[in-house]
A and B are shown apart, each in its own frame.
Chain A
């Protein structure tokens, strides 16, 4: 079974999801995990689907991209199955005045500690920049990572917090 990684991005308008999903459905492609969201007026879809060949999906999406309003990419990927958690789940929040390199510096601290970012979103509103990341940290490293994050945040003049993610099962 082919597994495909597909991205579609374009200026937001009603019907982008319906158009793309319809094209995939006609090919018998099964949508598995995806995120679809609006980013500053652009609509961005990142999705994994299984079924058809990459070339068929590219051809099916071509008419949507033809007017230059949507940019679509299709890649065949190797199915790895579910990734097992590699550490303890934490939520990192950073906020402060927008400047270059906030995400780069903060995620470098996480990477150097062996932390794995599993989800991250950023928002710029006025001059306020907000980063929220979910990260798996190697067991027992959170206090040290928090200290390094605080020092890096101080250099950038932004606020930072690192808290255990809520893992309650209800």
Chain B
């Protein structure tokens, strides 16, 4: 991680939200909230700040979870948390952060990869995502605009979460009829 990329968040961490998050229940498909495009939010509102803290708290208690979007806790809104820290596939890592109203502004170097989702617990799928990505959004609380330049697994996580905010699941982007897999559970 370079200093320039880290500057993308301006040193923001979830602690800046200033309140503890509560763990919320995660909803699963076919809950209709997951297929509904979420509205843009006021990042400075108390409701959004609490939602941001709750998304981080829920992500942190969920094993293997590298990202969680508002629709996954039943709230139709353009807010999500990401944290790929320590993930073996991650290259650039911005730590734990929450973005509101995020959009992809540049995407390139598309690569196929296997994805799962807490809201589709029994299936995984092969999805092509940009491995070089620029995302713009605003931070919860301050409302400060941010521009994140990232790659690899963090880029994949961001695209997956931005899709959630638009009412899309990885199932909407699978590569073909044999690109959806039953998640393997080994006893």
Contacts and interface: CB of A to CB of B under 8 A. Distances in A.
Interface of A: 91, 93, 95-98, 119-121, 123, 125-130, 132-134, 157-159, 161, 163, 165-166
Contact of B122 (A97, A125, A132, A166): A125
Interface stretch (B8-16, B47-55, B100-108, B166-174): B166-174
Interface string B5-40: 000000000000000000000001110100100000
Contacts of A134: 176-177
B57 interface: no
A125 B123 CA distance: 8
Contacts of A129: 30
B124 to A, nearest CB: 11
Interface of B: 28-30, 32, 35, 120, 122-123, 128, 167-169, 171-180, 182
A95 B122 CA distance: 14
Nearest to A127: B30
Given A95-B30, A161-B168, A130 B173 contact: no
Given A96-B30, A126-B28, A166-B128, A119 B177 contact: yes
Contacts of B173: 93, 161, 163
A120 to B, nearest CB: 5
B14 to A, nearest CB: 31
Given A97-B30, A128-B28, 18 more contacts: A91-B175, A91-B177, A93-B171, A95-B35, A95-B171, A96-B30, A125-B182, A127-B30, A128-B30, A130-B123, A130-B180, A132-B179, A158-B30, A159-B35, A159-B172, A163-B173, A165-B175, A166-B175
Contacts of A157: 32
A116 to B, nearest CB: 13
Nearest to A118: B177
B169 A95 contact: yes
Nearest to A95: B171
Nearest to B125: A132
Contacts of A121: 177-178, 180
18 contacts: A93-B173, A95-B30, A95-B172, A96-B29, A96-B35, A119-B177, A121-B180, A125-B122, A127-B30, A128-B28, A128-B29, A128-B122, A130-B171, A132-B176, A133-B177, A134-B176, A157-B32, A163-B173
Contact of A123 (B30, B176, B180): B180
B125 to A, nearest CB: 8
Contacts of B30: 95-98, 127-129, 158
Contacts of B122: 125-126, 128
